[in-house]
Structure 1
Amino acid sequence: MQNNFLPLNTRRFQQRAQVETPDTVYWNRLAKPEHLKERNTIDYVDFSPSDPDNFVLTCSVRVQIYNLVTKLVVKNLSRFQKTAYGATFRQDGRLLAAGDEEGHVKLFDTTSRNILRLFKGHTAPVHRTFFTADKLQLASFGDDKAVRLWDVANEKVVQTYADHHTDYIRAGAMHPQAGHMFVSGGYDGKIKLYDTRAETVVQHTLDHGAPVESMLFLPNGSVFVSAGGNQVRVWDLVGGCRLLTMMSQHHKTVTCLRLGSDGRRLFSGGLDRHVKIYDVSTYKTVHTLTYPNAVVSMAVASGDQAVVAGMVDGLISIRRMIVDSKPSHLKKIRADRARKHRKEPMPPNNTQQVDHNIKDRVKGPGLKTFDVHLRQYNHKKALADVMGSKKSELHPELVVAVINDLLHRRRLEKTLIDRPDEVLVKFIDFVCAHLGETRFMRPLMMAASTVLDIFERQLVACSQKLMDALERLSAAFQEEVKLTTELMRLKGTMDMLIGVSMDSGEVVHKPTYVETKAPKMLPSQAAEKYVVLVE
């Protein structure tokens, strides 16, 4: 009678893969990036509100309007003698304003490419220009530490706000509903809130803590966001401009902010080559986009149709949203038709039709090679097979499972006796490489102890390669002992501090300690306990 052999039970460890969320599924629908190349840094990107397929790029002395589908230049506004900055569309998409290095602000007609207005007054470069909510005025933010409000129809300055910042003003945002309110951010780290109706123009002065690079209002106008340094800060306008939250997901300077998903998602791009996407209801990161170089500017099309990012080396990345062209109800109809026309097996002649046909049992997957060797009690062949080829590198848990099985059978020592030096050295190197992993520590400690017991009385007969491998194993043991000693000292120190705080009446969160006893076959020089601190 043949006994049934169960395959080796390989323990499944927790995957380190990212948890899939609805946002991850949604933003993974962005297609592979399509790249355009300009000569200099892409200063600013903005989508046209009237024609969502067009976006404007500000680079060097040119302002170019591209088509999102064809990736070709629709209009080229090259009326600049020096570098142009911050070309942005008006809310209706009919006008476009841009600053330049000469301190001028130019207003263009997007249909004819003509310069409609030329605003002169700044004495230093103007990096950002934005239209007010009523579309009648234009605000410009310059390096002369001044903010100017212009009347579009009369081509005259309405108000000048100087001496409020002590450094360059490179960021600003207009209130989406109230045309009389806007904010400015400077390289002095200060944020100013303006109200043109009040006698005291500057209503609030806030401190971002770093040079402000970008700002925007949320669609309802009650909250505005500032970016500077490696932080993104959210301010409550209704609640007295108090700080709501602070996000530090970037490890380099945050350069641009944008809104997506009809204002439900916030985008931030930085010099760390990442674009972070936040949920504005919780201000938690829901997705991350990675780019080949530092992101300087960014724009998101309406309905999340595309995400365009401009980089410091002049590279433009365009990621379009993949839309299913076939409606779901058509798919369902076609699936039903295919099901109806699918041929079913016909019953044979002269036989009665039955309700259900029992199919033959489907055989499961065969045993793996090392399982076959274990079934035949060929322990040496089982260990050699699982450590052969690339199994030990790609799937170390398989090797540990075989070692654990041999330890349970008390056959690991006999498996390692009288083996070639190459096999023993490879086994010792595997133990040294994975000895520090918590999930493999217990079986590998017992395996290392077995190796030391085997060669304890045979060190004279060992080769130089094997001696070097045993020295590496001893060093790995000493490293684990040292780490264990430090953890035990840390545990004692924390217990003492917690005890003192409890005696004084303070409530302190007490960490949890999980103690694991050392293996029985551990050498005498190893520690008696391994303590894992779980926060």
Structure 2
Amino acid sequence: MAADTSKPLFPAAPHTSLLPSHGNPNRLSPEATYWRNFRSSELETSSTYSVTHLAFSPAHAKPTLAAAWSSAVHLFTGDPLAPRPKVTVSKDDAAFSPSFRCDGALLAAGDKKGVVRVFRVDKPTAGPLRTLSAHTAETRVVCYPEAGGDKVHLLTAGNDALLAYWDVPSETPVFTVPAAHRDYIRAGAPSPVDHHLFATGSYDQSVKLWDARTGKAPALSFSHGASVECVLFLPSGGLLATAGGTTVKIWDVIGGGRLVHSVESHVKTVFALALGKMGTTGETRLLSAGSDGYVKCFDYGELKMTHSMRYPKELLSLACSPCGTVLVAGSSKGDIFVRRRKKNATEEEEEEVVSSEFAWTTPKPEKQALKPSYYRYFLRGQNEKAKQGDFVISRPKKVKFAEHDKLLRKFRHKEALVSALAKNNPRSVVAVMEELVARRKLVRCIGNLDVAELGLLLDFLHRNTTLPRYARLLLGVANKVLEMRAEDIISEDGGKLRGCVRNLKRMVMEEIQIQHTLQEIQGMISPMLALSASR
């Protein structure tokens, strides 16, 4: 069958889908702009212990943070966060999993021996109010209920695979499940819509949903596929996020544990999950932190990744304030990284209007109008960004000169040559020598070098004279140096110089031998090439 020659093999115009878009490729999305408005800082911890858990109080007006590292739970409050007296959980053992009660008045935390203690937040140094003892290994899961205003119950779990549901005032468990999982229980979360429901995750790769009303049997169980490091209910209560390995998965617990989506955006283990509220839209994002040093922002409504934030160290814990203005991440080296969102003028005015309904505040003085007699009058508009259609005149970039270039511009020839030799860059040294030859100053510079500087020059010649790129110039310079500075080389103080000359001689002899060998090879090959060409 003959080919159709009426149509060209390649179309003259590309398809419209292959053409580049006319939008600005560097333009950030609104969500990326929102997260970039967070300003980074670091809390002073003066510790190298891992920050294993972070938690914000759900009830305080100002952000109140509890951070667990070493043997205590450290409290921070205010905007910006300022340290408060710490809560000493145990004198000798590590503290884990601080959890605030729904009203923010009490704080519970576990330790390495399995003891859970309850403290008053307003009196952190007064000692524990209640002590709950049922575990035989470190307690990594301590959860107060979030919904329903439940103030008397507490869920705990730990490395002994024991699950306990406590009546805190009486210090007695309502029920316990001795083998709730087949391995360490490292993750737990309460439901935001029902104070009876809890979820736990274990190193046996399973995730289980528990109902405190039914007791010891799990209401639902499914496998994450890797050791579970963290579980978290999404605000609706019908979706559950689990983190383990390099994957974050979202499950439909109402639909019987059906997998909704799997997020594989980390390259190392994901250790923590948190919910971040966006102040501009009121939407909530799922945040994940891993040992790769990244915090990823995921829109679980659209099922897409929207932003990522890089941190200098691997992360073990993550928390976001209920108002969404403070994002905190804890590292394995004892660092606590804080990102505070910078509010714009509109949001500040809205807060002032709301606060003025309840309390009177001193009005802010009006800004003075700029006049030509003010210095700031001539600085206005310098920070303005160009809009679409504006003609931008770019400021020429300042050329950075090397040190030897600056010296050459000042006609300090010897210093320029020594500076280039000290940098040990063959291209720069040869360029300086060529410039000195053009100025007829190279011979004078060689004559003015002292013994140490002459040693630098001979060492450079020994290493670079045989290079084909620089051989013509450097061989001439070497001959001139040996001719002019023979007395310095032969003198009693010229031992190092004589060593450089011997090395230079050896390199030249080796190069000559190589050239002789190449000529012999050429003599053998030339007759063969001529014979093959005649045939």
State the 1:14 CA deviation: 9.4
Residues 104 and 122, structure 1, Cα contact 8 Å, conserved in 2: yes
State the 1:150 CA deviation: 0.5
Helix, strand or coil for the counterpart of 1:46?
A: strand
- Amino acid of the structure 1 residue aligned with 2:39: A
4+ residue runs over 4 A deviation? 12-19, 325-330, 334-339, 363-366, 463-466
**1:153 and 2:169 aligned:** yes
Indicate the residue corresponding to 1:257 in structure 2.
Answer: 273
Indicate the residue corresponding to 2:436 in structure 1.
Answer: none
- Amino acid of the structure 2 residue aligned with 1:83: A
Indicate the residue corresponding to 2:461 in structure 1.
Answer: none
Indicate the residue corresponding to 2:290 in structure 1.
Answer: 270
State the 1:53 CA deviation: 2.5
Residues 41 and 311, structure 1, Cα contact 8 Å, conserved in 2: yes
Q: 1:244 to 1:128 in 2, by over 3 A?
A: same
- Amino acid of the structure 2 residue aligned with 1:46: A
**1:177 and 2:186 aligned:** no
Q: 1:176 to 1:337 in 2, by over 3 A?
A: same
**1:106 and 2:117 aligned:** yes
Q: 2:231 aligns with which of 210, 215, 218?
A: 215
**1:63 and 2:79 aligned:** no
Helix, strand or coil for the counterpart of 2:85?
A: strand
Q: Normalising by the residue count of structure 2, what TM-score does the alignment of the two structures yield?
A: 0.59
Matches within 5 A, 1:281-430: 281-325=301-345
Residues 242-292 of structure 1, C-alpha deviations (whole Å, 9 max, x = no match) = 010000000000000000116611100000000001112022111111111
Q: 2:220 aligns with which of 204, 214, 220?
A: 204
When the two chains are superposed, the root-mean-square deviation of aligned CA atoms in Å is 3.7
Residues 125-166 of structure 1, C-alpha deviations (whole Å, 9 max, x = no match) = 101200123232100011001111101121101111122311
Question: Identity of aligned pairs, percent?
Answer: 32
Q: 1:139 aligns with which of 155, 168, 180?
A: 155
Residues 273-317 of structure 1, C-alpha deviations (whole Å, 9 max, x = no match) = 000011120221111111110011111012221111110000111
**1:45 and 2:54 aligned:** yes
Indicate the residue corresponding to 2:38 in structure 1.
Answer: 30
Within 2, Cα distance between the matches of 1:63 and 1:364? 54
Indicate the residue corresponding to 2:202 in structure 1.
Answer: 186
Residues 89 and 111, structure 2, Cα contact 8 Å, conserved in 1: no
Residues 167-218 of structure 1, C-alpha deviations (whole Å, 9 max, x = no match) = 1000011111212211110011111111233377212221101110111111
**1:78 and 2:85 aligned:** no
- Amino acid of the structure 2 residue aligned with 1:101: K
Residues 165 and 212, structure 2, Cα contact 8 Å, conserved in 1: no
Within 2, Cα distance between the matches of 1:115 and 1:147? 22
- Amino acid of the structure 2 residue aligned with 1:112: K
Residues 55 and 68, structure 1, Cα contact 8 Å, conserved in 2: no
Within 2, Cα distance between the matches of 1:230 and 1:321? 28
Q: 1:258 to 1:327 in 2, by over 3 A?
A: closer
**1:90 and 2:101 aligned:** yes
State the 1:64 CA deviation: 1.2
Matches within 5 A, 1:232-247: 232-247=248-263
Within 1, Cα distance between the matches of 2:198 and 2:89? 29
Residues 161 and 178, structure 2, Cα contact 8 Å, conserved in 1: yes
Q: 1:16 to 1:59 in 2, by over 3 A?
A: farther
Q: Report which stretch shifted further, 260-269 or 55-64.
A: 260-269
Residues 220-243 of structure 1, C-alpha deviations (whole Å, 9 max, x = no match) = 211111001000000101111101
Within 1, Cα distance between the matches of 2:226 and 2:392? 63
**1:130 and 2:143 aligned:** yes
Within 2, Cα distance between the matches of 1:297 and 1:88? 14
Indicate the residue corresponding to 1:454 in structure 2.
Answer: none
Within 2, Cα distance between the matches of 1:135 and 1:176? 14
Q: 1:230 to 1:112 in 2, by over 3 A?
A: same
Helix, strand or coil for the counterpart of 1:225?
A: strand
Helix, strand or coil for the counterpart of 1:163?
A: coil
Helix, strand or coil for the counterpart of 2:266?
A: coil
- Amino acid of the structure 2 residue aligned with 1:271: S
Residues 143 and 167, structure 1, Cα contact 8 Å, conserved in 2: yes
Within 2, Cα distance between the matches of 1:195 and 1:122? 20
- Amino acid of the structure 1 residue aligned with 2:137: A
Q: 2:129 aligns with which of 104, 113, 116?
A: 116
- Amino acid of the structure 1 residue aligned with 2:100: F
Within 1, Cα distance between the matches of 2:327 and 2:276? 9
Aligned residue pairs: how many?
346
State the 1:49 CA deviation: 2.0
Within 2, Cα distance between the matches of 1:201 and 1:465? 81
Q: 2:243 aligns with which of 192, 217, 227?
A: 227
Within 2, Cα distance between the matches of 1:109 and 1:230? 37
State the 1:79 CA deviation: 3.8
Residues 367-426 of structure 1, C-alpha deviations (whole Å, 9 max, x = no match) = x9xxxxxxxxxxxxxxxxxxxx99xxxxxxxxxxxxxxxxxxxxxxxxxxxxxxx9xxxx
Q: 1:364 to 1:249 in 2, by over 3 A?
A: closer
Q: Normalising by the residue count of structure 1, what TM-score does the alignment of the two structures yield?
A: 0.59
Residues 86 and 129, structure 1, Cα contact 8 Å, conserved in 2: yes
State the 1:319 CA deviation: 1.0
Within 2, Cα distance between the matches of 1:244 and 1:267? 17
Helix, strand or coil for the counterpart of 1:27?
A: helix
The structure having more radius of gyration, on CA atoms, is 2
Q: 1:13 to 1:236 in 2, by over 3 A?
A: closer
- Amino acid of the structure 2 residue aligned with 1:115: P
Within 1, Cα distance between the matches of 2:135 and 2:296? 34
